[in-house]
Amino acid sequence: MIGRKPNAGLGGSDAEAKAPSNAAPLLKVSSLGAGYGGMPVLREVSLEVDKAEIVALVGSNGAGKTTLLRALSRVIGSTGTIEFAGRDLSPMTPDEAFGAGLVQVPEGRQLFDRMTVEDNLLMGAYRRGAGRAIGRDLERIYGLFPRLGERRRQLAGSLSGGEQQMCAMARGLMAAPVLLMIDEMSLGLAPVVVEQLMEVLAAIRKDGVTILLVEQDVHLALSGADRGYVMETGRIVHHGAAKDLIDDPEVRRAYLGL
Partner 1 sequence: MSTILEISHATRRFAGLVAVNDVSFTLEEGEILGIIGPNGAGKTTLISLISGTLMPSSGDIVFEGQSVAGLPAYRRARLGIGRTFQIMRPFPGLSVLDNVAVGALFGRNEGSLAEARERARGHLDFVGLGRFASQRADELGGPGRKRLELAKALAMRPKLLLCDEVMAGLNHVEIDEVIGVIRKLRDSGISILVIEHVIKAIKSLSDRLLVLHHGVKIADGAPDAVLADRAVIEAYLGKRRA
Partner 2 sequence: MNLLAQILINGVLLGGLYAVMALGLALVWGVLNIVNLAHGAFIMLGAYLSWHLYSYLGIDPFLGLPLTAVLMFALGYGVQRGLLNLVVRAPMFNTLLITFGLEVVLTYLAQLAFSADFRTINPPYAGNSIALGPLALPQARLMAFGVALALTAAMWAFLLRTRLGRAIRATAQNLTAARLYGVEPRHLYAVTFGIGIGLAGAAGGLYGTVSQINPYIGATLTAKCFAIAIIGGLDNPLGVLVGGLVLGIIESLAVLYIGATFGDVASFGVLVAVLIARPSGLLGKTA
Ligand X SMILES: Nc1ncnc2c1ncn2[C@@H]1O[C@H](COP(=O)(O)OP(=O)(O)OP(=O)(O)O)[C@@H](O)[C@H]1O
* Residue 165 contacts partner 2 per CB under 8 A: no
Per residue, the 3-state secondary structure of 47-70, as one string, reads: EEECCCCEEEEEECCCCCHHHHHH
CB neighbour list of residue 30: distance below 8 Å, 6 or more residues apart: 46, 80, 81
From the list partner 2, partner 1, ligand X, none, which binds 41 (C-beta under 5 to 8 Å, kind-based)? ligand X
Of the candidates 196, 232, 237, 238, which one interacts with partner 1 according to CB under 8 A? 196
Residue 36 dihedral angles phi and psi, to the nearest 5°: -125, 130
Of the candidates 48, 96, 107, 217, which one interacts with Mg ion according to CB under 5 A? 107
For ligand X, give the closer residue by CB, 3 or 215.
Answer: 215
CB 148 within 8 A of CB 142: yes
Count of residues making up the chain: 258
From the list partner 2, ligand X, Mg ion, none, which binds 73 (C-beta under 5 to 8 Å, kind-based)? partner 2
**Which secondary structure element, helix H or strand E, spans residue 104, and what is its range?**
strand 102-105
Stretch that binds Mg ion, among 38-46, 61-69, 73-81, 86-94 (CB under 5 A): 61-69
Of the candidates 14, 16, 119, 217, which one interacts with partner 1 according to CB under 8 A? 217
CB 156 within 8 A of CB 38: no
Of the candidates 43, 112, 162, 254, which one interacts with partner 2 according to CB under 8 A? 112
Q: Contact positions toward partner 1, by CB under 8 A?
A: 36, 58, 60-62, 66, 107-108, 147, 151, 158-166, 184, 187-196, 216-219, 254-258
